[in-house]
Amino acid sequence: MIARPRPGVRSTFYEGVIVSLEIVPLSEAPLGALVSGWEPAEPLTDASKRSITEALHRHRLLVFRGQLQPTDEDLVRFVESFGDPIRGSEWFRNAGALPEILPVTNIRGKDGDRLGVEGATDLEWHADYSYVATPAKTSFLNAVELPAEPPRTYFTDMYDAYATLDPGLRARLSGLRATHSIADYMAEPDKDFAAKIERDEAAGIDRPDIPEAEHPVVVRHPDTGDEILYVSRGITRGIVGMERAESSALLKQLHLHATHPARVYGHDWEVGDLVMFDTLGTMHRRDAWDPTERRLMRQLSTACVI
């Protein structure tokens, strides 16, 4: 279950301005806050935007629950309040009317057409779009349709992961860079990706190739300047200029430290949930689910320079 809000802790004021949102930290969880009072059809006020941004910086992850299900247009407008959306659906060859929205689903169209990124297997720890030169800063994941037993999504705090490293290891990481790529495991999150390429080529549709990128192992958040450990087991392929064995050993050490249960929050989904999270400052992973049951999530991210 989702962690309970801490009683008596509220954020309904911002610099003396009453706002409609209520933001309550999650109890018994190392990160996260529950947000109520969001009206998807209404543009955000400046006060609400500031309140959400400050809460995200403080809690790393916000769970919007209890609101009406946003339309695609509502969702894109909300995301645009926090930055320039990444058109990720074009790379994954699922671009619809709004390419800012990436469908993550095993549902297919009447003709068997693949409607989104498929795959019901567990998904390894990763940071969205870390394989892009301008990676994701903030991500948004919305539950539209869920199986009877929805798979959990887990989040871990990469600010805390960096801050709690041994000082000698932090010094060792200074100046290191790592390569990020999903080429090696595209078959797992989307087993029919090759079929999508064939479909687009037959239709004469030209899509950009999925990129690869190189980033510092330790990055600073562009808004706060806080330092973050920026590697993941799912996407980071190696430390630049380091022998493979040494690189693998270092990345394994960092991964085990970053995913210690004390800093991990597991989210139990309800239809309509919108989870907004600091993509630079967290990693996340997903459990597997019964592939015979339908699941539809809408994923969006904003881009940044690091």
Q: Provide the terminal-to-terminal Cα distance of the chain, rounded to the nearest Å.
A: 35
Architecture of the 13-303 domain = 4-Layer Sandwich (3.60)
Q: Over the stretch 127-138, which tens digit does the pLDDT of each residue have? A: 999 999 999 999
Q: What's the whole-number mean pLDDT along residues 79-84?
A: 98
| pLDDT higher than 90, residue 226 | yes
Residue 78, pLDDT score: 98
Residue 12, pLDDT score: 42
Residue 7, pLDDT score: 43
Give start and end residues of each alpha helix (H) in the chain. Answer: 46-59, 72-80, 88-91, 158-163, 167-173, 193-202, 244-258
What are the residue boundaries of the structural domains of the chain, listed by start? Answer: 13-303
Instruction: For residue 202, give every residue at least 6 positions away whose Cβ sits within 8 Å of its Cβ, in sequence order, or none.
Output: none
| pLDDT higher than 80, residue 281 | yes
| pLDDT higher than 60, residue 5 | no
| CA distance linking residue 239 with residue 173, whole number of Å | 10
| pLDDT higher than 60, residue 3 | no
pLDDT band at 205; cut points 50, 70, 90: low
Q: Over the stretch 106-150, which tens digit does the pLDDT of each residue have? A: 888 777 777 777 778 899 999 999 999 999 999 999 999 999 999
| CA distance linking residue 107 with residue 291, whole number of Å | 10
Q: Over the stretch 189-203, which tens digit does the pLDDT of each residue have? A: 445 666 666 666 666
Count of alpha carbons within 13 Å of 237, Cβ hemisphere only? 14
